[in-house]
Amino acid sequence: MKIALTVNGRKVGGELEPRTLLVHYIRENLNLTGTHIGCETSYCGACTVIMDGRPVKSCTVLAVGADGADIMTIEGLARDGQLHPVQEGFWERHGLQCGYCTPGMIMAAVGLLEQNNNPSEDEIRHGIEGNLCRCTGYHNIVKAIEYASAKMRGEQPAPAEWEVTA
């Protein structure tokens, strides 16, 4: 089947098997390997991308079902050498350990913050509950998203717990 879509602002497309999953199309056809393959059952969220403004688990979407869609992957977040505020938050607040879940977690957070630019801690935890991290206790991930939320609102993020303030 033939598809045409926009990925990270670039028009792409071509022929593919009708059974090709979006995650495989992104990784194998477009060579965008930041979208990770985890469980392939939608349980872990490592494959999360933004499709038409909403986070989706790309292991459960057929690429033909994304025909005409606008897709954003982790590779499309940074602009002009500047990290997206969520990426910056994960860096500044140590929101990652091994990094395997990080792209999907970041994309879920981006989707959350596009819908709610000032979420509570409970709303953040609910917003990322479909993304599993086996290395952290989620505390720093939540802090990273709070950091990004403040930055995206044009505010100064609260100091990290380990930062000394006078």
% residues pLDDT > 90 (the chain):
87
Contact (CB, 8 A) for 55 and 131: no
Superfamily holding 85-152: [2Fe-2S]-binding domain (1.10.150.120)
Torsion sign, CA atoms 109, 61, 3, 16: positive
Residue range 27-48: mean pLDDT, rounded: 94
Residue 146 — very low, low, confident or very high, per pLDDT cuts 50/70/90?
A: very high
% residues pLDDT > 70 (the chain):
98
pLDDT in tens, 86-104: 999 999 999 988 999 999 9
Residue range 106-117: mean pLDDT, rounded: 97
Residue 100 CA, distance from chain mean position: 12
pLDDT in tens, 43-64: 999 999 999 999 999 999 999 9
Looking at residue 42, its pLDDT comes to 87
Contact (CB, 8 A) for 133 and 141: yes
Fold of the domain spanning 2-75: Ubiquitin-like (UB roll) (3.10.20)
Looking at residue 163, its pLDDT comes to 78
Residue 152 — very low, low, confident or very high, per pLDDT cuts 50/70/90?
A: very high
Residue 153 — very low, low, confident or very high, per pLDDT cuts 50/70/90?
A: very high
Residue range 146-165: mean pLDDT, rounded: 90
Contact (CB, 8 A) for 41 and 128: no
Q: So where are the chain's domains?
A: 2-75, 85-152
Looking at residue 166, its pLDDT comes to 59
